[in-house]
Amino acid sequence: MNDVRIAGVGLTPFGRQPERTGRDLFAEAALAAREDAGVAREAFEGLHYGNFMGALAERQGHQGPLMAEAAGLDCPATRHESACASAGVAVRHAVQAIRAGEHDVLLAGGMERMTNLPTTEVTESLAIAADELFEVRAGMTFPGAYALMARAYFEEYGGSREDLAHIAVKNHANAVPNEFAQYRREVTVEEAMDSPPVATPLHLFDACPITDGASAVVLVSDDYAEEHGLDAPVRIAGSGQGGDNLALQDREAFSRTPAATEAAEAAYDDAGVGPDDVDVAEVHDCFTIAEVLAVESLGLFEHGEGVSAAREGRTTRDGELPVNLSGGLKAKGHPVGATGGAQIVEMAKLLRGDHVNSDALSDPRVGVTHNAGGTVASAVVHVLEVDR
């Protein structure tokens, strides 16, 4: 089996960019990744591309070949859709193809353009990632769904809105120096607590913003990297995917995310590591409660302990296990089809040592990324390791 190395990474700034088209956004990220990799255009054998709501936001289907063209590539291209986990799934399929020996050089990533629509239309578009028959028709939105998950968690394990506020404060602080982040300003616990309610117990600062952006990663086989003398010290050592019932009402519990646990266990087993080996994590904090569920599903904290980890300083930049040094979805932004790829980009740079927040880490070797779809009916986890 071929090892898969990250030869290059690229991002656009995340934020409000309604005047830009989706193809323009992805072109910027893809060209940056190609330049970072130093791989010839002719070497690319395929594109795995994540996008969720392009058919609604831009009335554009069949985006795979369109984005390959935007990236300057002449190769087969496939669009992957798994709600907010779309780019994570795209990266996973690229990893599997290289491992199987089918390809040596692939581009993976994703894009979402969202702010060209009114907020109400974005909310309605995102809602189709839930069960249309039994949730959407009843008026369920994702803030409401995650509020139910937060209330169930508090009832089972304890915790408070103030615990969640500390997660927002941590992630905003991490985003301040990140040039790609949407919200580069600090917030206080008091600001987070006093922000308007969105869906009780979640308030405005518990929720990620509506965002435009794109991400891209150049993946190559270990043999190709060695043969062409590429500087690619970070490899994707483990990959896992899990699933769950789509509707919350069909789950055994709201306070855990078994799909993420399944994906994490598979990724750890694949990489030959465990949660205790992880030095840094980028997780899918679409809402502050989602970070709690993520770090527990990844086995980084016991169930019931994740909610207080930020308040206790355990997941801050100077804590024992920094989480979301990029700013996370909460402050960096969440262009849903691009997020899973962006997590890989941020983690690769953190492990390479050229991320703006790399100084928060001391000789990191293992990083984990966690990308979730909907209320975590889909989850993709990747384990990244760096050569030292």
Q: Give 312-363 pLDDT, tens digit per residue.
A: 999 999 999 999 999 999 999 999 999 999 999 999 999 999 999 999 999 9
CA nearest to 150, candidates 210, 198, 86: 198
Q: Among all chains, which residue has been given the structure tokens 């609604």?
A: 56
* Span between the terminal Cα atoms of the chain, in Å: 22
Residue 93 a catalytic site member: no
Task: pLDDT band for 116, please (50, 70, 90 cuts).
Answer: very high
Instruction: Name the catalytic one among 48, 93, 203, 334.
Output: 334
Check 84, 166, 355, 382 and give the catalytic one: 84
**Overall average pLDDT of the 272-288 stretch:** 98
Residue 35: how many other CB atoms lie within 10 Å: 12
Lookup result for tokens 């789509």: 246
The residue among 101, 94, 102, 97 whose CA lies nearest residue 47 is 94
Pick the CATH number of 4-117+209-386 from 3.30.300.20, 3.40.50.300, 3.40.47.10, 3.10.20.30: 3.40.47.10
286 is catalytic: no
Question: How do beta strands 280-282 and 105-112 pair?
Answer: unpaired
Instruction: Read off the tokens for 144.
Output: 């409401």
**pLDDT at residue 388 in the model:** 79
Q: How far is CA 42 from CA 34, 73, 103, 387, in A?
A: 11, 8, 13, 28
Q: CA–CA separation, 251 vs 254, rounded Å? A: 7
Side-chain-side CA neighbours of residue 139 (13 Å): 1
Confidence (pLDDT) at 349: 98
pLDDT in tens, 164-208: 999 999 999 999 999 999 999 999 999 999 999 999 999 999 999
pLDDT at 1 over 80: no
> Rounded to an integer, what distance in angstroms lies between the CA atom of residue 44 and that of residue 75?
7
Confidence of residue 2 (pLDDT cuts 50, 70, 90): confident
**Residue 24 Cα to chain centre, angstroms:** 21
Percentage of the chain modeled with pLDDT above 90: 99
Distance CA(313)–CA(263), nearest Å, equals: 27
Where are the chain's structural domains? 4-117+209-386
